[in-house]
Amino acid sequence: MDASVIDTPLRPKGKTNHKVTEDRTEEEVAVTKEYGESVDKDGTWLKKRGKYHFGFKKHYVTDSEGLVLGVLTTTASKNEISNFEEVLETVNVALPKDIPLKADKGYQSKKNMVLLKQRKLKIMF
């Protein structure tokens, strides 16, 4: 199990305009970014190894031979820890009990360890 950053060619260039939502109280101000028409508005920014990326993340589950069993696409800024259960749910075959699941350390958390125990899976980070 691992995630890959997918850059979109339709990233923002130049200055970004910020729009403040006016229908909220003074304590809650919502600020949104306005991009030009040619920008992929669903993509988000991520800084990885000192380099900025704009786009998405693909979270893959593969077997030992590299065959993709499931894939989940999220925005680039979405953390791997919060998607662990959703990624496992994309697998369309039943994973055998006590199978060693190899995952990136980005998926490691107490909540995810409990989830693995419930599904009777072992993990190796």
Of residues 74 and 29, more confidence is placed in: 74
Of residues 32 and 94, more confidence is placed in: 94
Side-chain half-sphere of 19: how many Cα atoms within 13 Å?
7
pLDDT tens across 72-114, in order? 999 888 888 888 889 989 987 777 777 778 887 878 889 988 9
Mean pLDDT of 27-36: 58
The alpha-helical segments, DSSP class H, found in the chain are 84-89, 110-118
Residues 59 and 112: their CA atoms lie apart, in Å, by: 15
Structural domain for 37, as ranges: 2-124
pLDDT tens across 36-45, in order? 666 777 888 8
* Tally of domains within the chain: 1
Q: Is 75 exposed, middle or buried (0-12, 13-18, 19+ CB in 10 A)?
A: middle
For the question of whether the overall pTM of this predicted structure is more than 0.85, the answer is no
Whether the per-residue pLDDT at 18 is higher than 70: the answer is no
